[in-house]
Amino acid sequence: MSRETPDEPLGAAEQHWRKHWQKTLREPDALPGQGLADKDAAWDKLFARLNARSRRSLRLPGGLVSGFRITGGGLGPFSAYRIAVACILVTLIPVSRLFHDRPGAVRPAAATEFRVTPPLRSPATLTVTTSVAPATAASGGPKGRKRNPVTDRAGSIGVKAFPTAPVAAPPAPIAPPAAIPAPPANILAESMPPAPVAPPKPAAKKQWKVVDINELEPRYTRPPMVADRRPGLLRLGIGLGDPGFPESSQAREDRRLKIDLSTQNH
């Protein structure tokens, strides 16, 4: 508890002179000599400060952002910067994902495999390699539709496309070198017509072919759950069967809603 004594009550005379002093000094024109010497200069300083503050202030619909500080929301300084950065990130992340997952996008890993993969040499090889995986062939996979090796890419996982050279004839056996007599020097110089310039060979027409990943990686086998599936066909079960009633796999297969996702027209 405070031991301070309360303010003693003032006497009437004391109150009188105090009130006189208060009244005298509180008068607006009590001290004319104590005013500002240069009021205009003082106002200019004050006006510059007020203007500097108003320039730093930015009115936004949500509140007053002054000096990079949102005064209405009670947020800390540089909150406007943080909000702007967050908005930019929120906008850019979906866009970057959209471009990243685009089907035609070239990925660095695919480009590496493209360089090391040997080109195909014969159409027979092409026929073999465009078929589905060996596991599919062994289990008697779907045979109904003839696949387009270029457009039917959806079902073949890991398929790579790359240009190959045209099919060339098998090389002729090379005869052992025989001893050819050298012609005389005068014949070579005078009687021999100039050798015709061979016309330039037409540039090899490059073709795009689709190969399965099994060709690139022979040890690769498709997972057993997708080994018997036909590529490009999405199967959806709509749940019409009775869960307690056993049914054959064929009936279950027939009840499935089948959507062909291949790009080939039928």
Partner 1 sequence: MNIPEQIQDARCGSAAAQKALFDHLADPMMALCCRYLKSREDAEEVLLDGFYKFFFHLKEFRYQGEAALYAWLKKIMVNECLMFLRRRHAFSVVSDKTVEDLPLNVEPLAGLSAAEIFELIVQLPVGYRTVFNLHVIEGMEHREIARLLGITEGTSKSQLSKARLLLQKLLLQKGINYVKRNTR
Binding-site ranges for partner 1 (CB under 8 A): 2, 4, 7, 13-14, 16-18, 20-22, 24-37, 39, 42-43, 45-47, 49-50, 53-54
Residue 7: DSSP 8-state = P
- CB of residue 59 to partner 1, shortest distance in Å: 11
Contact criterion met (CB below 8 Å) for 166 and 265? no
How many other CB atoms are found less than 10 A from the CB of residue 246? 8
Contact criterion met (CB below 8 Å) for 212 and 133? yes
- Alpha carbon 106 to chain centroid, angstroms: 12
Query: For the CA atoms of 43, 45, 50, 55, what is the dihedral angle to 10 degrees?
Result: 130
Q: Which is nearer to partner 1, 45 or 82 (CB)?
A: 45
- CB of residue 99 to partner 1, shortest distance in Å: 48
- CB of residue 84 to partner 1, shortest distance in Å: 27
Q: Which is nearer to partner 1, 36 or 195 (CB)?
A: 36
- CB of residue 4 to partner 1, shortest distance in Å: 4
Q: Which is nearer to partner 1, 27 or 190 (CB)?
A: 27
Q: Which is nearer to partner 1, 42 or 124 (CB)?
A: 42
**Run of H or E residues at 208:** strand 207-211
Give the integer Cα–Cα distance in Å for 40 and 54. Answer: 20
- CB of residue 72 to partner 1, shortest distance in Å: 13
Q: Which is nearer to partner 1, 36 or 192 (CB)?
A: 36
